[in-house]
Chain A
């Protein structure tokens, strides 16, 4: 048992959280290998020694980030099944939820992707879990009068499109990514392109909907 005088746990939690946020942002931006412990300490205004008290190694931070659920699953579906929403508008709502997630958790998502490419099994499992959560989330947003194959195609188109948007926006805008992804003008362009990428109106069956 440590003989150290216990510190107020709220403050300790806040510091620990600050360290994880700094690590997440640096790992997500520069990658795990290129981030130094010193940089993480500098970013949260701590000494190396203080940082060591919370996380003895950089690897410990990585494991904590991967195992603690870092808001990496979708929130509650928004505007659940608005009666007046057309199938196209529902798809836009789905894309918006995914883009909100990318804007809010961009650093975490990039970090997760880097870890997947580096072959970390925890990251691969975490990504699969996250993907399954999004598939479940998305199924509420795709017109249920479509056939199973059509729904799969539309979902694939939306997911692939949004994935490309998130990646290229970051590759082109760097640290400004979150504000670009959230800007109304950008969203308007995305909605127009989504109509092209996932033209759900081509599959609509008005006669079935009247029944």
Chain B
């Protein structure tokens, strides 16, 4: 716990005030946000923008406790046992949460969910490395939010190729305008 406190830049007491044990901290991160199931509207392609909102929304809810990001990043880099367990459950939880969102439009969402997990983990890792003690400030920056949306939307468009090549080409125009 002391190491966690040092890593997060707060005192042991402050950490214990919020959480009674290290396991409790990691459990807190596993709370799954509620997600509305999407309605497939028969035939038409996915509403990339709405799905992007949905998926980045899940990400922002995790981002409400960014000091915990630092703990899981340090734990992951050190292959620390309770963090290793955390990543296993978090990965399974993420698949359970996001696959149903994609299922109506992507017949095989597993690869897309895995890609989202890698990219969003990359974002978390980079935020912790770049922002040090200023993670809150970095997260509030509009440019940061735009970038996360852009990466997620790119994945949703990229994933269309395997599902429906025609739709992907339609989305290409959208991808190009989304760049700027």
Q: A interface vs B, CB < 8 Å?
A: 29-31, 33-34, 110, 113-114, 116-117, 119, 127, 147, 149-150, 153, 156-157, 159-165, 167-168, 170-172, 174-175, 189, 192-193, 195-199, 201-203
Contacts and interface: CB of A to CB of B under 8 A. Distances in A.
Instruction: Provide the main secondary structure of the chain B interface.
Output: helix
Contacts of B7: 117
A114 B145 CA distance: 26
B84 A172 contact: yes
Contacts of A203: 172, 175-176
B99 to A, nearest CB: 14
Contacts of A150: 176, 179
Contact of B123 (A119, A160, A199): A160
A164 B151 contact: no
Interface in B115-134: 115, 117-123, 125-126, 128-129, 132
A120 to B, nearest CB: 11
Given A171-B79, A171-B83, A202-B172, A195 B158 contact: yes
A114 to B, nearest CB: 6
Contacts of B129: 113, 116-117, 127
Contact of A171 (B87, B155, B176): B87
A132 to B, nearest CB: 14
B176 A193 contact: no
Given A165-B118, A202-B175, A153 B157 contact: no
B118 A117 contact: no
A114 B122 contact: no
A198 B153 CA distance: 11
B15 to A, nearest CB: 17
B119 A31 contact: no
A197 B78 contact: no
Interface string B59-98: 0000000000010011011110001100110010000000
A175 B87 CA distance: 16
A167 B69 CA distance: 13
Residue of A147, A167, A196 with most partner-chain B CB within 10 A: A196
A116 B77 CA distance: 12
Contacts of B122: 159-165, 167
Contact of A197 (B118, B125, B147, B172): B118
Contact of B77 (A156, A162, A170, A189): A170
